[in-house]
Amino acid sequence: MYNPNDTSCLAVLTQERLLRIFKKDPSLSFDCIIVDEAHEILEENSRSRTLANVIIIAQKRNPDVAFKFLTPFLTDSKNLKARYTTYDIEGFKVTEYIKTEKYYLYDLRNHTGLKLYDQFLNRYLPLSENRNLGFEEDVVKAYSAGKNIIYLNKPTDIEKFALALADVLPEMDSEMIQTACDNISNYLQPQYNLLACLRKGIIYHHGSVPDAIRIYIEDLYKKDDSVKYVITSSTLLSGVNLPAERMFILDNKRGRSNLSHDSFKNLVGRVCRFSEIFNDETGNLQRLEPQIYLVFGKYFAQNANCESFLRNVAKVEQNYKDAVDNVLLSEAKITTMNEEELRHASEFIENYENGVVEDYQERYTSTVSGKACIMNGITELDIFAHEAAIQQQVNGYQSENLKISDSNTLLETIYELFIQYLPDNGAESLKRLENQEARNFYSMMFEWRVENKSYAEMINLFVGYWQQLYKKDKNVIVYVGKWGDVKRSGSNVARYTKIFGKDRTQLINLAIVRIKEEQDFIDNTLIKYVEVLYDLELIEDNFYARIKYGTDDERAICLIKNGLSLSSAVLLIKKYNSYLQINVSSSTVVFDDALISEMKKENENQILIYEVQNCM
């Protein structure tokens, strides 16, 4: 946890958090910044641009800062150079073939069975073995090892396949699994689909699994040999290391694009890690040839050519080039297609940190509101075009001494100040706030946070909310994002679903993923607008704390800042305060060594115990 009172610190941060810290402390600078998975900065998305932004700001604040870029895949190191910086890059590359993957292709669509792909000779070799398997779950069951990773692109497909695989596997006789199921059931709901999978030795891992559950089951997968399968999306590419001997790739997509060579190699590199191969007790040199199975079936794109795909991503002698798509990188090609994007990106970084862009000729903010929007990372609307109108409204609020202290007023103020200025093709998740029903919904979500509702309580409330809507209108459709199967008029993407025809178990599982996604939307998007209002002194202090942290108890906030969830923080303050030394002014916590044994003695949920243990 970065503490502005420290003269020096070692901090582990996401780029989003670092950008927020730079805003709060204009004098903060670093001597050294290590960027892991550095190839991700080449991509064209908001996180990659934010990473480039913090690199640019870091060098502006300390021209002598040393950058260390770590990446397993990069053709040319100069592609990591950000615009508006002066640092030089000296590459150091390790090329080794200590570990060589064996690629197998099982074609379910054309019923051609199993082939071996030789990435050195670029040839497919048919294998005499023919098990005549009909479905993806049959292939995984037939060729699995002790620990297996199964890749799919969409969370909906991950859960669908997990249940299909569970149907063909026997139940595991494991005390650890049974205990885990009891704890997850109490933390969430007994009808959670993950529990049916876990009893068969399967876990699934995607961005809509609640954080505390995801971390807990990752640990279970590592510790219990009965848990043989983890079904995952590209979340596994972001530094998650799980033991595995074998991988099954059931989908050739990452997001809307094909898996690139880099993403593919990063993915297959997650099996048979060197730490497992050379382990003194359990190591096995046969794992230097990890087996990777591509299963060409219903999850691959309809127009996919599986043989060409594997050649494109795995052929050894193929010349691969870095795709530099981030406009904030020096080597990105600027054309008529992206020059406007570069202009907006440059406007943002120069207004955030004046003096970054040499010979800057574009717009500066001219109002307090405009500056507050820039400093809080508001990029969904054209701040420069609308800041005068926003400031005029803010002046009106301030003349009325507005101090927001309830969720309804908060959502209405966000709508009046910002949402009406979103472009027609703006972020759909924010555009929904043009509807009164959506504002009422997020007001309700904020109230649950203020009232410190548990996850289990929120699930029941979510299902109850949907059922109330259904009673009023049997044809009601509700927004469920990526879990949708109904398109609303004017949209080409299915983001909604009908409540009609869904039983309670289906609604509970839908509620679990939606709560996680809505909390992420609040924490990553809506909270930026809350911060602007707070900077403009339009929110009452205690209400701001409850909105941001779920509590205005400074001790609990200190625990949250040190990595605990709200549920764990409140529990520790309420029952185990004597085992804590909390220094609010320095944002530090010292945990008594006896805390965990005391929590176990009191039979606290293992999920909460594990979370506390990780923070000690």
Cα distances from 217 to residues 141, 161, 203, 245, in angstroms, run: 21, 18, 7, 18
Phi–psi pair at 259, nearest 5 degrees: -55, 125
What does pTM read for this prediction?
Answer: 0.90
**Angle 527-535/368-375 helices, nearest 10 degrees?**
140
Structure tokens at 243: 């033991």
Closest to 616 measured CA to CA, from 604, 599, 279, 145: 599
The domain locations on the chain are: 1-95+343-363, 102-302, 365-545, 553-615
Query: Over pLDDT 70: what percentage of the chain?
Result: 99
Structure tokens at 196: 């049916």
Beta pairing class for 229-232 and 202-205: parallel
CB 122 within 8 A of CB 312: no
Write the single-letter amino acid at 254. Answer: R
Beta strands in 3-94 (DSSP E): 32-35, 66-69
Q: Which amino acid is at 514?
A: R
Q: Do 445 and 432 meet the contact criterion of CB atoms below 8 Å apart?
A: no
* 384 C-beta neighbours (distance < 10 Å), count: 19
Residues of the chain with pLDDT under 50: none
Torsion of CA 226, 228, 233, 235, to 10 degrees: 60
Yes or no: domain 102-302 corresponds to CATH 3.40.50.300: yes
Question: DSSP E strands: which ranges in 297-411?
Answer: none
Dist. CA 383–CA 365, nearest whole Å? 8
In three-state secondary structure terms, 32 is strand
CB contact at 8 A, 296 and 306: yes
SS (H, E, C) 112-146: CEEEEEECCCCEEEECCCCCCCCCHHHHHHHHCCC
At residue 426, the pLDDT reads: 67
Predicted local distance difference test score (pLDDT) of residue 1: 67
Residues in Cβ contact with 171 at an 8 Å cutoff, skipping those fewer than 6 apart: 199, 200
Q: How far is CA 613 from CA 180, 545, 568, 570, in A?
A: 16, 26, 11, 16
Containing 582, the helix (H) or strand (E) segment is strand 580-583
Look up residue 488 and give its DSSP letter: P
Encoding tokens for residue 6? Answer: 């420290």
Q: Is 281 helix (H, G, I), strand (E, B) or coil?
A: coil
Spatial separation of the C-alpha atoms in residues 347 and 358, rounded to whole Å: 12
Pinpoint the alpha helices (H) of 400-435. Answer: 407-417, 428-431
On whether the CB atoms of residues 322 and 75 are closer than 8 A, the answer is yes
Residue 478 in 3-state DSSP? Answer: strand
pLDDT reported for residue 181: 96
